[in-house]
Structure 1
């Protein structure tokens, strides 16, 4: 017990000294802030966090008050989502879009840490303590080009914050597909359909368990649908989805 207490004291002293030399900075503007992995006041106020009533299937914000009952957006009332519930931390606009693009294309891996904290908070209604967290996978050719999977960075940090099991290769991208950018709803689903499959040596990790699939952005839901179907083919008992940002029609 004494050694453990001494170690904690040493760790706090080291962190204090580190902050004196390298004070924490706002993730967006770089101004000094009070704690690591945060936003300054102005950037926080200008970041489109999703709060209050939202669609229980995709996380898009809805008008009205949250009375604890499941509500759905027009798209999710019309479309049969294969997953059970979904949430997102931000709207994909303004600072929300900047954060996603900086993580995805700007090599800003540091964004994954605060983003995971926001995502974990949004995911509270989705969590089953036995569930396993998995990222939407990249095809190996795209992984070689990009060098990292932003969904995996987010998924690992979210799993850590929520105290859940994490499996980075629960799913694999078995077929390379074209970019979905600019494609319509039907074209997106046709392009990514059957492109994601369960890893043949990881099926036991999802068998009879719920899976939380993590990605950076949800637009039409095509990629998340393909990943969900892959989980069910691997024996998952249920699937929920979580993204850093959600594209909204009126955003």
Structure 2
């Protein structure tokens, strides 16, 4: 269907399905957005926090759309576990808006992988959906299956940081058929939330081990206190 036809049908679509906030459901002006109140509850990183690195970290920066608070947590939970997949474009566009690439070859956009059993249970990989939106925004070339989980790990939710890092050591690898695509390329690793940094560390190690030139981490929400190990 052509863009002109879609735009022509939009008023009728909006009449049948009025635009509502992706978080609270309040009426808004257009689809795919948040209401003013919910938007106002989000916290955003400053320029220093936007691409942060620390001594000893092997990644080339952390790019966060928001800081992790009650509102960002609510959005992520509704997206991952509440069936609100329509939030993917909103969250993905917010990540993309923080990514600034230098002129030259576009980076690879690679999502944090889920183990196949987790995908079967959930039905989707939320990081892959966000990565697709970031690529659609022109921020890089999507390689949705660049990384794989070679072993299933337990839920890391309440575990201390050191334990998380230990569990994830060797759990993530670059897919055999993707190694040539990764070698020598700049990579943007996409995740939904970054807390301890254990998962992103495992991904960064795998990508750099496969010959990636640089790896930046981009997420929707990052813990307010910077992770000590990426």
TM-score, normalising length: structure 2: 0.91
Assess if the C-alpha contact under 8 Å between 2:50 and 2:64 holds in 1: no
Counterparts in 2 of 1:179 and 1:218: CA distance versus 1, 3 Å: same
Structure 1 residue 132: Cα displacement: 0.7
Counterparts in 2 of 1:84 and 1:207: CA distance versus 1, 3 Å: same
Q: Aligned partners of 1:55, 1:24: CA distance in 2, in Å? A: 31
Assess if the C-alpha contact under 8 Å between 2:131 and 2:142 holds in 1: yes
| TM-align CA RMSD | 2.0
Q: Give CA deviations for 1:73-109 in whole Å, capped at 9, x if unaligned.
A: xxx34xx222111111112211111011111111211
1:31 to 1, 21, 26: 26
Structure 2 residue 66 is the aligned partner of structure 1 residue 93: no
Q: Give CA deviations for 1:43-64 in whole Å, capped at 9, x if unaligned.
A: 111122334441532xxxxxxx
Counterparts in 2 of 1:129 and 1:27: CA distance versus 1, 3 Å: farther
Counterpart for residue 79 of structure 2: 103
Assess if the C-alpha contact under 8 Å between 1:26 and 1:33 holds in 2: yes
Unaligned runs of 5+ in 1: 1-6, 58-71
Counterpart for residue 217 of structure 2: 241
TM-score, normalising length: structure 1: 0.83
Q: Give CA deviations for 1:101-125 in whole Å, capped at 9, x if unaligned.
A: 1111112111111001111112226
Unaligned runs of 5+ in 2: none
Structure 2 residue 190 is the aligned partner of structure 1 residue 214: yes
Q: Aligned partners of 2:82, 2:209: CA distance in 1, in Å? A: 35
